[in-house]
A and B are shown apart, each in its own frame.
Chain A
Amino acid sequence: MNYKYSKTRRTQLIDRLAYKVFYVIAILIVLILAALLIYILVTGLPHISWHFLTGKSKPFQAGGGIGIQLFNSFYLLILTMLISVPISLGAGIWLSEYAKKNRLTNLIRTTIEILSSLPSVVVGLFGFILFVLQFHLGFSLLSGALALTIFSLPLLTTNVENALQTVHFTQREAGLALGLSRIETVLKIVVPAALPNIVTGMILAAGRVFGEAAALIYTAGQSAPAINFSNWNIFDLSSFLSPFRPAETLAVHIWKVNSEGLIPDASSVSAGASAVLIIAVLLFNFIARYLSNRIYQHMTGVKS
């Protein structure tokens, strides 16, 4: 009897202890993230000024800015999304609406999985031989955007497919019963219904694309030549809109400044740039959250 009692007591003690351990782990992780964010913001924010955000970077001296890199990052993101959003929509629609349960579909899913697990350096290197060398695009925004498209396609496609899958099948039946073709049903009923999830996923993917560097160092290049913001001719290499100019992005800049160490204020430039990058990613995250909440409320009338 006594033995039994002590054993129960022990298991109860273990139970309580384990409980605490789980709490400690959870708190530890939150603290790690907090420390990370605070460190980046505290070291980075003091360096951020209008001059830093808009100024030109300097290859060898201190005091350079990140203006061109920041613009390049956004422009590259827009180009990438322009290419990858339509493709991923099409691919996602096919997977969700047309794919039959057969070998071909299995093969396709496997391929997409493989693509999503490919290291981004490998994608970058592939972009380097195909777009930069074979297609003679050189180190350019376009090569970078194409490489990033490959990088983001599996992410976006899976997101579109999952979003479409959450739409109830009765919606499709209703569309078909009204005499719409399947593709019309999908485009006019299913996609709009799934739009909140699709948009959220796309913004999150945009955040990933924005911070990607490994796929870019050999496609979009590691130099940021001066650009002219009043030149609107996209075929002119000095124009800010030209997709054929080499374009170092913010993330690549951070890497380059740190690994080459040619400028004396590398650590403060990268601290500032990291802070900007983090703020951008946080913004992407919050916008995605806000939008999905808003659209959810709008569509269901439920306050979450």
Chain B
Amino acid sequence: MDPIKESLLKTSRKAKQEKFGKLVTFLCILLIMVMVVAIILFVSLKGMATFVVNHVSPFDFFFGVNWNPSAKPPQVGALPMFLGSFIVTILAALIATPFAIGAATFMTEIAPRTGKKILQPVMELLVGIPSVVYGFVGLAVFVPITRHLFGGSGFGIFTATLVLFLMVLPTITSMTTDALNSVPRNYRESSLALGATQFQTIYKVVWRAATPGIMTAVVFGMSRAFGEALAVQMVIGNAALMPTSLTSPAATLTSILTMGIGNSVSGTLENNAIWSLALLLLLMSLVFNSLVRWIGKRSSLK
């Protein structure tokens, strides 16, 4: 066979190369997928042990108000931590959202140049500050201030909220900025042409058009806050009690998790119960995720 014909019939070197490249890159993707599945599987398996092996009823777990898995009989009510996580998350989001929307509006509508030059780097730095540093600042500054203002130990939901506010502010702001930026320019121009002032344009047109985006940003920030561990653990006081006031020590899912895994023996109910908390955290993160998707889907239908 002549060499030209032969080379035409065989797979070329380039085609092989191409196949190889495609395979290798896909393997990388596959690895990530396997990891995610493994994480969900492992944590679920470990977390289900409380219910399957130790026969704790899920009702007691979700609605029990006492957490003392090492006591006899063990009490594994996760409600205090769940509520703790929820309250700090919601409060932090409530405080951060107006600031975030304000800052984002400033960056996109009021003073885009100064905003880009000053506020954006500020936000990037705030994101970059490690969470333990926030925890340390909370411990060194917010705890004494809270103690001074409201009495008590200074540890508690209020302090944790302040720390989380700082931590989720940049997340919500940058996503809100993107949302505002994606509002078409002609919306603003039409509104201004109708005689609306700039602020009327902002809150009647721009904000309204960007609402799904802003909501996504807030949910995203909440999911960050819900999963934040060390900074919260350092300032919340870690008392697994039903939260009664904003300034008394409380606990979150993450704070009990970080403390608990190292202090319990694998296979015991105490350890299993902590894994159930991890599972609960994982599920909540999935819930936040689907919420983001749901908002995205609903807004794209319009």
Contacts and interface: CB of A to CB of B under 8 A. Distances in A.
Contact of B234 (A118, A122, A259): A259
B280 to A, nearest CB: 10
Interface in A114-169: 114-115, 117-123, 125-126, 128-130, 133, 150, 153-154, 157
Nearest to A29: B103
A122 B278 contact: yes
A252 to B, nearest CB: 8
Contacts, number: 253
Interface stretch (A56-64, A91-99, A228-236): A91-99
Interface in A6-38: 11-12, 14-15, 18-19, 21-23, 25-26, 28-30, 32-33, 36-37
Interface string B171-209: 000000000000000000000000001111011000000
B4 interface: no
Interface stretch (A47-55, A239-247, A277-285, A295-303): A277-285
A294 interface: no
B230 A213 contact: yes
Contacts of A181: 14-15, 17-18, 21
Interface in B119-133: 119, 122, 124-126, 128-133
B27 A90 contact: yes
Given A90-B24, A126-B38, A282-B125, A213 B198 contact: no
Interface string A260-288: 00000001001100100110011011000
A274 B28 CA distance: 35
B254 interface: yes
Nearest to A184: B17
B31 interface: yes
Contacts of B139: 258
A40 interface: yes
Contacts of B105: 22
Contact of A121 (B17, B169, B227, B288): B227
A33 B125 contact: yes
Contacts of A214: 131, 229-230, 254, 258
A39 interface: yes
Most B C-beta atoms less than 10 A away, residue of A30, A114, A214: A214
Contacts of B55: none
Given A214-B131, A281-B129, A87 B229 contact: no
B32 A213 contact: no
A119 B18 contact: no
A207 interface: yes
Given A112-B32, A129-B42, A94 B257 contact: no
B26 A98 contact: yes
A182 B163 CA distance: 48
A226 interface: no
B213 interface: no
A186 interface: yes
A77 interface: no
B103 A25 contact: yes
B24 A251 contact: no
A22 B31 contact: no
A218 interface: yes
Contacts of A93: 25
A11 B127 CA distance: 37
Contacts of B257: 121, 125
Which interface residue of B29, B38, B200 has the most chain A CB atoms within 10 A?
B29
A86 to B, nearest CB: 8
Contacts of A187: 21
- Choose among A93, A121, A150, A186 the residue with the greatest number of B CB atoms under 10 Å from its CB: A121
Nearest to B115: A26
A225 interface: no
B261 interface: yes
A95 B26 CA distance: 9
B31 A285 contact: no
Interface of B: 14-15, 17-18, 20-22, 24-29, 31-33, 35-39, 42-43, 46, 98-99, 102-103, 105-107, 109-111, 115, 118-119, 122, 124-126, 128-133, 135-137, 139-141, 166, 169, 197-200, 202-203, 220, 223, 226-230, 233-234, 254, 257-259, 261-262, 266, 275, 278, 281-282, 285-286, 288-289, 293
Interface of A: 11-12, 14-15, 18-19, 21-23, 25-26, 28-30, 32-33, 36-37, 39-40, 43, 86-91, 93-95, 97-98, 108, 110-115, 117-123, 125-126, 128-130, 133, 150, 153-154, 157, 179-184, 186-187, 204, 207-208, 210-214, 217-218, 222, 251-252, 254-255, 258-259, 267, 270-271, 274, 277-278, 281-282, 284-285
Sort A-B residue pairs by CB-CB distance and give the 3 closest, nearest first.
Answer: A211-B130, A119-B227, A183-B21
19 contacts: A26-B118, A29-B122, A33-B125, A36-B126, A40-B133, A98-B26, A111-B37, A112-B36, A117-B220, A121-B229, A125-B261, A181-B17, A182-B21, A182-B22, A204-B124, A211-B133, A222-B262, A252-B132, A255-B234
Given A26-B115, A94-B22, A181-B17, 10 more contacts: A29-B99, A33-B122, A33-B126, A88-B28, A117-B227, A150-B35, A181-B18, A184-B17, A187-B21, A277-B133
